[in-house]
Amino acid sequence: MAAAGPLLDSFWQSLLTLVFFYAFMGLTWNLMMSAGLLSLGHGLFLGLGAYATAVFTATGGLSPWISILIGAAISAVAGSAIAWIGGRFSVRGVQFALLTIAFAELARVLFDNWDFVGSTGGFFLKAINPDTNRPLLTLRGGTLFFYLAFVLITAGAYFLIRALMASRWGYRWRGINEDEDAARALGVPALRSKVLVVAISAGLAGVGGGLFGFLQGSLFPDSIMGLRISIEVLIAPIIGGVGSLFGPIVGAFFVVPLMEGSNVLGQRMGFYGLNTMIYGAVILGVIAFLPDGIWPRIVRFVAARRS
Amino acid sequence: MTKRAIPSRRDLLATGAGALATSILPRPVFSQGAPVKVGVILYLSGVQAFMGQQTRKGNDFGAKVVKEAGGPAMEFIYGDAESKPENGRIVAERLIREGCTLLIGTNDSGSTISVAQAAEAAKIPFLINIASAPQITEQGFTQIFRNFTPAGTLVGNAVARIKELGATTGVEPKTAVILHVNDTFGQGIMKGVDVLWDKQQVPIKILDRIGYDVRARDLSVEVAKAKAVGADLLMPITRVSDAILIIREMVKQNWSPMGIISPGSPGPYEKAFTDALGKYGDGYMSCVPWYNPTNKRAREIASRFEKEMDARFDLNAVFAFEAVEIAADAIKRAKSNEPAAIHAALKTTDIADHISYGGPIRFDEKGQNNNIGVVMLQNQNGKPVVVSPADASEAKAVFPFVPFDKR
Amino acid sequence: MTALYLNVISGGILIGVVYALIALGLTIIFGVMRVVNFAHGEMVVIGMYIGYGLWSAFKLPPWMLAPVAAALLFALGYALQLGIVNAFIDRPQHAQFVLFISFALMITGLHLALFGPDSWPIQMVESMQSYTIGPVRLDVLRSQAALMALLLIIGLMLFLRFSTLGRSIRAAADNLIGAQVIGIRVRKVYAVTAGIGMACAGAAGALIAPIFDTQPFLATDFTLIAFIIVIVGGLGSLTGALLGGVLIGLSEALAALMISPALKTTFSYALLVLVLLLRPNGLFGEPER
């Protein structure tokens, strides 16, 4: 996939950058789901990473490599705190999902009113000069750079999560997902397991956010940590297949071109609103007819063919 | 209700196939003589669609007027960024791929930066028509040209208008309270007010500033709080829906200060506002960039626009229209549809006769036009009219304004 | 100063009652089906457009239009439930979530396509009027909306308590298997419940149409405020929704007055977090059996 990058023109590189951004975010979101934790506030982790990376680089003058790690750490700490609070007070199910929304919205309002990060006025990054810029130093570049960067972190996240799921923690998370009380009875340290899974998920999301902020060039609390982005990042993994490791990637390859296609169609028709109608209708069709998502269905189909 | 033909299913399929086909085809080469493709990026759907769709009308009308006047052949291709900043970049890439050699847009600072990055990488000039964040031109982009006032300049000019008001009417308000929306735009204006108020020694003391969330739908408490301050003037910084809410609450709470003057924001001059409030919308003043009603051509354009587009020729429409004229002027002088030639022509733009109020349109080395003026509008008989400065006025300011309970 | 406080408090309570009606719809659907309607705000917006349309066609005061909007939304909710949502009752939460998000996207898109992005204001004499009682000034439209909302809430509670259908709804909420055993047709009960839930949203929409000008993108805020109320009041509890609505309306108004308007939603979210942690079943909810 990465090798095909240079062959594509910059429109396709940009589109695939968005595909891999959603694939990456979907992987991190799906990781929390493996422990049964439904996050409706993933924009918080994305936004914290984005803001920390941008602010430490632009205002703090640190290397973006260090800033992005700081961003990941801040996100991970925020994630752990939410997981700990949720676990400690046994907030589960839909209540936990609402807890994540509440924290994300609290953070958004805080950032909206925080002058140091530009408040609602926004935080702006300097333009990069395409001729003199060195992407590996600035972590910013043209479309090809961001495309490759998101492919790499998606691949990295995929293998990391695969290894985690095969480790003893992976079994613990699945155990909690199936029946938390039973898992506890069997000696699974439920609180610690949950804090760990959310910390990893949030930390990774922070890395994705850091790069996404660089891609954007300007940050606004509403668009980078608001409810809209929190919802958008979870559609791809659900459509792709929540239970599966590869599902979020497949989902992103389905959802992003779908958004782009319905946008172009709505635009050509001069019929604004058609874009979200098509998008909603297709999602409804997928969730109604492929209950487990696209990828598990493909896997089953291939398996049935073979046997 | 909006008139719009519902497309048939066959149309839908045909266009869908067409859209797919064009997006797979490779990027066309530039050819001489063909119309210049101009990409227009706006928020046409999503939360901020109301501004994008207003802007689109100005753009459409500009295209029509330029064509009638025998201007250079231009083909406008619209791109909808769906009120998502991250879409700015991708829509820009798509338009560049379809052969656009000039981009125009956007309504929002986030998507403007997003587009500017794509334009910078592809070396395609980008003419910014509405976005007002001061930072946009400070980031070192080389492809951008902005024919709109950054928030700070806007406030600076607005302050001059407010001072003039005291001088011409002989009524000197002493105190003011600010009610402002807490979004990118409102924040920019507030910063401008903070800096300039002391610097220009405005003799009006700001007693309190009350911010509210951009999504607030209920401003009863905010207005009650502002009323309790007891200031001579209310200075609102709003969007249109909150401006309507504020006036309704003021009428209900029976609060008529000496005047309502916005130091630069949308709202009162919009059709939605005057339609919704009728006689209660009168008297509200706002300092904004506007068309120059003493310019004959501007007046004609405005009245034609209102008839033909069934909308008011307001700020969004004016600057969308003017961007098309600037583009036409540059393309004509560039004598080419090469982006570099258009860029060079834009650099040397110098248009003295234009419809907006202000000096000649020229772009400085950062791409900013610093000659855009600001007029003071006042709603009179359900329509915004220019009441200041003297060289652009259509009517005399009514100040202090008529209390709500005497209307 | 007292007058200011009294005005703010009464305004907060009035709008809180209307919020309560929205929240009631959400909570009743959850109580019976354990399904969270993430498209609830969109239903409110449909109600607002219905209110606007009826007002501009017949020039009737909006509080009279609420029953019409309720009836139309009941039909929509009933049809959606039988047609689609029933198949999702036993699906995991995230699947239900995406289902409702897809509804929300389609409804918002349809509103934008049909009515455009601009606000549709209802302008009438009452828009600018208020009742004056001693030092207190009561907004006419808000008072009418709150009164009508209260009547609808009381009517709904009486219906659930005393009618046969209402009793079977409550039976299904309390004990699903038991309800099936005694012969209640659960699918139909679900459809009626969804209809009632969305009717609440629609009625509330028609009531607030003259207060908040109608446009396609208001929905998320209504959904969120309904959630906050429902959690604070107790998920599934009807009295909780009513009291929670008033509490949230009141606390947002007071927070705006005493702290800062820009932070008033923060106050609600903070309250939500506290309730989730300290009283997971809500301030007025019954503990799980």
Residues B169-224 pLDDT 10s = 888 899 999 999 988 888 889 988 988 888 888 889 999 999 998 888 789 899 99
Test B45 with C221 for CB contact under 8 angstroms.
no
Distances (CA, A) of A162 to A293, B185, B406, C171, C223: 19, 45, 73, 45, 36
For residue A90, pLDDT beyond 90 = no
What would the two tokens of residue A58 be? 């632009």
Q: Say what the pLDDT of residue B187 is.
A: 87
Q: Say what the pLDDT of residue A1 is.
A: 53
- Mean residue pLDDT of chain A comes to 93
Mean pLDDT over B340-346 rounds to: 96
- Please name the chains neighbouring B, where neighbouring means 3+ C-beta pairs under 8 angstroms: A, C
Q: What is the pTM of this model?
A: 0.93
> How distant is the Cα of A103 from the closest Cα of chain B, in angstroms?
17
| DSSP class per residue in C99-110 | HHHHHHHHHHHH
For residue range B143-182, list pLDDT tens digits in order.
999 999 998 899 999 998 988 888 888 888 999 999 999 8
Pairing of strands B383-388, C130-133: unpaired
Test B110 with A14 for CB contact under 8 angstroms.
no
Q: Testing the interface with B: which of A18, A110, A125, A264 to mutate, by most B Cβ within 10 A? A: A264
Measure CB to CB from residue C261 to each of B53, B211, B240 and give the nearest one.
Answer: B211
For residue B93, pLDDT beyond 90 = yes
Test B141 with A212 for CB contact under 8 angstroms.
no
The answer to whether C114 contacts chain A (CB < 8 Å) is yes
Measure CB to CB from residue A216 to each of B19, B85, B141 and give the nearest one.
Answer: B85
Measure CB to CB from residue C93 to each of A38, A227, A239 and give the nearest one.
Answer: A38
Q: Using CA atoms, how far apart are residues A241 and A296, in angstroms rounded to an integer?
A: 6
Test A106 with C273 for CB contact under 8 angstroms.
yes
Q: Using CA atoms, how far apart are residues B271 and B309, in angstroms rounded to an integer?
A: 13
- Mean residue pLDDT of chain C comes to 90
DSSP-assigned beta bridge partners for residue B76: B38
- pLDDT tier at C121, thresholds 50, 70, 90: confident
The answer to whether C262 contacts chain B (CB < 8 Å) is yes
Which residues of chain B are within 8 Å of residue C262 when distances are taken between CB atoms?
182, 211-213
- Mean residue pLDDT of chain B comes to 89
For residue B23, pLDDT beyond 70 = no
Q: Say what the pLDDT of residue B12 is.
A: 46
Q: Which of A16-30, A106-120, A137-151 has the highest mean pLDDT?
A: A16-30
For B260, the 3-state DSSP assignment is strand
Q: How far is CA B229 from the centre of its chain?
A: 31
Test A113 with C262 for CB contact under 8 angstroms.
yes
Q: Which of A284-288, B158-162, C3-7 has the highest mean pLDDT?
A: A284-288
Test A98 with C94 for CB contact under 8 angstroms.
no
Percent of chain A with pLDDT over 90: 79
Q: Which residue of C has its CA nearest to A242?
A: C94
> How distant is the Cα of B407 from the closest Cα of chain C, in angstroms?
12
For residue B10, pLDDT beyond 70 = no
For residue C184, pLDDT beyond 80 = no
Q: Which of A100-109, A123-132, B51-60, B370-379 has the weakest average pLDDT?
A: A123-132
Mean pLDDT over B234-242 rounds to: 93
Test C121 with B280 for CB contact under 8 angstroms.
no
Test A91 with C109 for CB contact under 8 angstroms.
no
- Please name the chains neighbouring A, where neighbouring means 3+ C-beta pairs under 8 angstroms: B, C
For residue B27, pLDDT beyond 80 = no
Q: Say what the pLDDT of residue B24 is.
A: 47
Q: Say what the pLDDT of residue B177 is.
A: 96
C164-174 vs C2-33: helix axis angle to the nearest 10? 80
Which residues of chain A are within 8 Å of residue B79 when distances are taken between CB atoms?
267
Angle at B60 between CA B57 and CA B66, to 5 degrees: 135
The answer to whether B227 contacts chain A (CB < 8 Å) is no
Mean pLDDT over A248-255 rounds to: 96
Test A9 with B27 for CB contact under 8 angstroms.
yes
Which residues of chain B are within 8 Å of residue C49 when distances are taken between CB atoms?
none
Test A124 with B89 for CB contact under 8 angstroms.
no
Q: Say what the pLDDT of residue C286 is.
A: 64
- pLDDT tier at C183, thresholds 50, 70, 90: confident
Measure CB to CB from residue B184 to each of A122, A143, A261 and give the nearest one.
Answer: A122
Test B135 with A127 for CB contact under 8 angstroms.
no
Percent of chain B with pLDDT over 90: 71
Test B2 with C116 for CB contact under 8 angstroms.
yes
Mean pLDDT over B71-81 rounds to: 94
The answer to whether the CB of B217 falls within 8 A of the CB of B269 is: no
Which residues of chain A are within 8 Å of residue B97 when distances are taken between CB atoms?
9-11
Test B240 with C119 for CB contact under 8 angstroms.
yes
Question: Residue B231's closest CA among B274, B190, B170, B174?
Answer: B174
Q: Using CA atoms, how far apart are residues C116 and C215, in angstroms rounded to an integer?
A: 8
Q: Using CA atoms, how far apart are residues B383 and B158, in angstroms rounded to an integer?
A: 20
* Bond before B173 cis per omega within 30 degrees: no
Mean pLDDT over C171-199 rounds to: 86
For residue B4, pLDDT beyond 60 = no
Distances (CA, A) of B380 to B173, C7, C241: 21, 32, 46
- pLDDT tier at A123, thresholds 50, 70, 90: very high
Chain A interface with C: residues with Cβ < 8 Å: 33, 38, 40, 85, 89-91, 93-95, 97-99, 101-103, 105-106, 109-110, 112-113, 227, 231, 234-235, 238-239, 242, 271-281, 283-284, 287-288, 291
Number of A/C CB contacts below 8 angstroms equals 121
For residue range A254-273, list pLDDT tens digits in order.
999 999 999 999 988 888 99
Q: Which residue of A has its CA nearest to B40?
A: A267
Q: Say what the pLDDT of residue B19 is.
A: 47
Q: Which of A75-84, A86-95, B59-68, B137-146 has the weakest average pLDDT?
A: A86-95
Which residues of chain C are within 8 Å of residue B212 when distances are taken between CB atoms?
256, 261-262
Measure CB to CB from residue A280 to each of C84, C105, C262 and give the nearest one.
Answer: C105
Test B244 with C7 for CB contact under 8 angstroms.
no
DSSP-assigned beta bridge partners for residue C137: C132
Measure CB to CB from residue A291 to each of C93, C95, C103 and give the nearest one.
Answer: C95
Q: Using CA atoms, how far apart are residues C109 and A278, in angstroms rounded to an integer?
A: 9
Measure CB to CB from residue B210 to each of C15, C212, C261 and give the nearest one.
Answer: C261
Mean pLDDT over A113-140 rounds to: 89
Q: How far is CA B363 from the centre of its chain?
A: 18
Residue B328 class from Cβ within 10 Å (0-12 exposed, 13-18 middle, 19+ buried)? buried
Name residues 8-67 of chain C within 8 A of B (Cβ): 8, 11-12, 15
Question: Assign residue C91 a region: left if phi > 0, alpha if psi is -120 to 50, beta otherwise?
Answer: beta
Pairing of strands A123-124, B259-262: unpaired
Q: Say what the pLDDT of residue B26 is.
A: 46
For residue A229, pLDDT beyond 90 = yes
> How distant is the Cα of C170 from the closest Cα of chain B, in angstroms?
35
Query: Within 13 Å and on the Cβ side, how many CA atoms surround B163?
Result: 12
Name residues 161-200 of chain C within 8 A of A (Cβ): none
Q: Which of A159-163, B30-34, B310-314, C170-174 has the weakest average pLDDT?
A: B30-34
Q: Say what the pLDDT of residue B17 is.
A: 46
Q: Say what the pLDDT of residue C20 is.
A: 96
Question: Residue A247's closest CA among A306, A196, A298?
Answer: A298
The answer to whether C260 contacts chain B (CB < 8 Å) is yes
